[in-house]
């Protein structure tokens, strides 16, 4: 989807440039009720203000998520994105949302691939399996089909996490061989949670426009 935007010049002539609308899905994680001030909500508002199409659904029962319901909603949101012509199809997933997206890729729930997928603070599957209140398929990072499925449904896959994430006690390195990507490490970012100071994240909006992963390192 493209729009022609006209801007004035000193000579009174009109110069036109093309603005391409992007389709962005923001997928929150466990216990997240899309609170005010959270980087995901702030980014959704910023992207919408700039004219992009943004899907930022509340997944059901965030305190006690049902994997079947989360998979079903993810499938429907992706399908609705595909109903709009043109523009990049982008997913931004945080925490348990990254696990849900990867399981969706493994289960082939998508109709069309995403042009870009960003996995923010993916949790260690072993930690998830031991956590009360979380029901999810156990993501097997040793399964060689995981990387195949992830890259089938994401034309470009970026992973970013911290060096002090309580949900990643074994470190972000467990995801590099599993997904065949070189993750970005944002030092001191914890779990990218609001209670850890993760409010505004302008680098995320910049990445949406530029597709340059280094923009994600901006706060």
Q: What is the pLDDT of residue 138?
A: 81
pLDDT for residue 12 is more than 70: no
Helix (H, G, I), strand (E, B) or coil at 43: helix
Q: Encode pLDDT of 177-204 as tens digits.
A: 999 999 999 999 999 999 999 999 999 9
* Domain limits, the chain: 21-217
Number of other residues whose CB lies within 10 A of the CB of residue 61 = 12
Average pLDDT over residues 14-25: 72
Q: How far is CA 89 from the centre of its chain?
A: 11
**Which of 57, 127, 54 lies closest to 96 in space, CA to CA?**
127
Q: Encode pLDDT of 136-179 as tens digits.
A: 778 999 999 999 999 999 999 999 999 999 999 999 999 999 99
Q: What is the DSSP string of 118-156?
A: EEESPPPHHHHHTSTT---PPP-TT-HHHHHHHHHHEEE
pLDDT for residue 15 is more than 90: no
Confidence of residue 1 (pLDDT cuts 50, 70, 90): low
pLDDT for residue 209 is more than 50: yes
- Distance, in Å, from the CA atom of 191 to the CA atom of 121, rounded to the nearest integer, reads 6
Sign of the dihedral defined by the CA atoms of residues 41, 43, 46, 47, in that order: negative
Confidence of residue 18 (pLDDT cuts 50, 70, 90): low
Question: What whole-number percentage of the chain has pLDDT above 90?
Answer: 87
Mean model confidence pLDDT for the chain: 92
The pTM of the full predicted model, rounded to 2 decimals, is 0.92
- Distance, in Å, from the CA atom of 3 to the CA atom of 18, rounded to the nearest integer, reads 6
**Which of 164, 157, 124 lies closest to 141 in space, CA to CA?**
124
Q: What CATH homologous superfamily does 21-217 map to? A: Alpha/Beta hydrolase fold, catalytic domain (3.40.50.1820)
Q: What is the pLDDT of residue 6?
A: 43
Helix (H, G, I), strand (E, B) or coil at 45: helix
- Distance, in Å, from the CA atom of 135 to the CA atom of 103, rounded to the nearest integer, reads 13
Confidence of residue 13 (pLDDT cuts 50, 70, 90): very low
């Amino acid at each position: 989807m493209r729009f022609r935007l006209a801007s004035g010049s000193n000579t009174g002539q009109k110069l036109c440039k093309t603005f391409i609308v992007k389709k962005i899905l923001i997928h929150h994680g466990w216990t997240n009720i899309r609170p005010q001030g959270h980087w995901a909500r702030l980014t959704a508002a910023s992207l919408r203000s700039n004219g992009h199409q943004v899907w930022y659904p509340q997944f059901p029962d965030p305190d006690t998520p049902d994997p079947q319901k989360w998979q079903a909603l993810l499938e429907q949101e992706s399908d609705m994105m595909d109903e709009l012509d043109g523009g990049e199809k982008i997913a931004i997933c945080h925490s348990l949302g990254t696990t849900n997206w990867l399981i969706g890729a493994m289960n082939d729930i998508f109709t069309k691939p995403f042009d870009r997928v960003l996995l923010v603070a993916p949790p260690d599957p072993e930690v998830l399996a031991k956590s009360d209140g979380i029901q999810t398929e156990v993501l097997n990072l040793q399964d060689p089909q995981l990387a195949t499925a992830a890259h089938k449904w994401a034309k470009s896959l970026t992973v970013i996490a911290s060096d002090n994430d309580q949900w990643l006690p074994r470190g972000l390195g467990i995801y590099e061989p599993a997904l065949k990507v070189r993750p970005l490490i944002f030092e001191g970012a914890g779990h990218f949670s609001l209670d850890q100071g993760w409010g505004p994240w302008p680098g995320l909006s910049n990445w949406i426009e530029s597709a340059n992963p280094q923009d994600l390192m901006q706060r």
